[in-house]
Structure 1
Amino acid sequence: MKRLLLTLSLAALPLLAPAQTLTVSAAASLTDAFKEIGARFEAARPGIQLRFNFAASGLLLQQIVQGAPVDVFASADPETLNRGVEQKLLVADTRRDFASNSLVLVTPAQGAPAIAALADLARPEVRRIAVGKVASVPAGRYAWQALEGAQLWAGLQPKLVFADNVRQVLDYVSRGEAEAGLVYRTDATLAKDKVRIVLTVGGHAPVTYPAAVVADSRQPAAARDFVAFLASGEAQGILARYGFGKP
Structure 2
Amino acid sequence: AMAVGLAGGMAIVEPVQAENLTIGAAYSLKAAFQEVVPMFESEFGATVNVVYGSSQTLRREVEGGAPMDVLLSAVEDLEKLQKKGLTLNGGPEVYAQTSLVFVMSSASQAMPISFHDLLSERRTRVAIGAFESAAAGPITARALRAVDPSFKDRFRLISATHHDEVIDMIRRGEAEMGLVYRVDAINNSGQVRIIDETPGGNYTPVRFGQAIARTCRDESRAVAEQFTDFFMSPRIQKLLLKYGFEPTTSHEGEKKVAGAAPKVRVN
Match of residue 237 from structure 2 = 236
For structure 1, which segment, 49-58 or 173-182, has the greater mean C-alpha deviation from structure 2 after superposition? Answer: 173-182
Match of 1:149 in 2: 146
Alignment-derived partner of residue 42 in structure 1: 41
More strand by share: 2
Deviation at 1:181?
Answer: 0.7
Q: Map residues 157-168 of structure 1 onto 2, 5 A cutoff.
A: 159-168=156-165
Q: Structure 2 matches for 1:23-38, cutoff 5 A? A: 23-38=22-37
- For the 8 Å contact 1:26–1:55, the answer to whether it is kept is yes
Equivalent-residue separation in structure 2 for 1:28 and 1:153 (angstroms): 30
After TM superposition, the structure 1 = structure 2 runs for residues 99-114 of structure 1, keeping only pairs within 5 Å, are: 99-111=96-108, 113-114=110-111
Aligned AA (1:66): G
1:124 offset after TM fit, Å?
Answer: 4.1
Match of 2:70 in 1: 72
Is contact 1:115–1:121 with CA below 8 Å preserved after alignment? no
For this pair of structures, how many residues does the alignment match?
235
* Cα distance in 1 between the residues matched to 2:69 and 2:196: 37
SS at match of 1:145: helix
- The corresponding residue for 2:82 is 85
Structure 1 CA distance, aligned partners of 2:109 and 2:59?
36
Contact 1:98 1:209 (8 Å CA) reproduced? yes
Q: d(CA) in 2 for partners of 1:243 and 1:193?
A: 13
- For 2:66, the aligned partner's letter is A
Report the AA paired with residue 162 of structure 2: N
* 1:50-72 C-alpha deviation (Å, 9 max, x unpaired): 11111111011111122211001
Change in 2 beyond 3 A, CA 1:31/1:53: same
Q: Given the superposition, is the C-alpha separation of residues 125 and 150 from structure 1 closer, same or farther in structure 2, using an over 3 Å criterion?
A: closer
CA contact (8 A) 1:130 1:181 kept: yes
Partner of 1:226: 227
The verdict on how the C-alpha distance between 1:86 and 1:178 changes in structure 2, with shifts beyond 3 A counting, is same
Could you report, residue by residue, the CA deviation over 1:24-43 in whole angstroms, capped at 9, with x for unpaired residues?
A: 10110111112211111111
- TM-score, normalising length from structure 2? 0.80
CA RMSD of aligned residues (A): 2.1
Would you say the 8 A contact 2:99–2:204 is kept in 1?
no
Q: Secondary structure at the match of 2:17?
A: coil
Instruction: Provide structure 2 residue ranges, at least 5 long, that are not aligned to the other structure.
Output: 1-6, 249-267
Superposition deviation, residue 107 in structure 1: 0.7
Letter in 2 for 1:32: A
Q: Which amino acid aligns with 1:225?
A: Q
Identity %: 31
- SS at the partner of 1:12? strand
Matched position secondary structure for 1:169? helix
TM-score w.r.t. length of structure 1: 0.87
CA distance, structure 2, for counterparts of residue 55 and residue 213 of structure 1: 17
Residues 44, 157 of structure 1: alpha-carbon distance in 2 compared, 3 angstrom cutoff: farther
Structure 1 residues not aligned, in runs of 5+: 1-7
* 2:122/2:156 contact within 8 Å kept: no
1:110 deviates by 2.4
1:178 and 2:175 are equivalent in the alignment: yes
Partners of 1:167 and 1:183 lie apart in 2 by 9
Counterparts in 2 of 1:162 and 1:92: CA distance versus 1, 3 Å? farther
Match of 2:132 in 1: 135
Q: Does the 8 Å contact 1:56/1:166 carry over to 2?
A: no
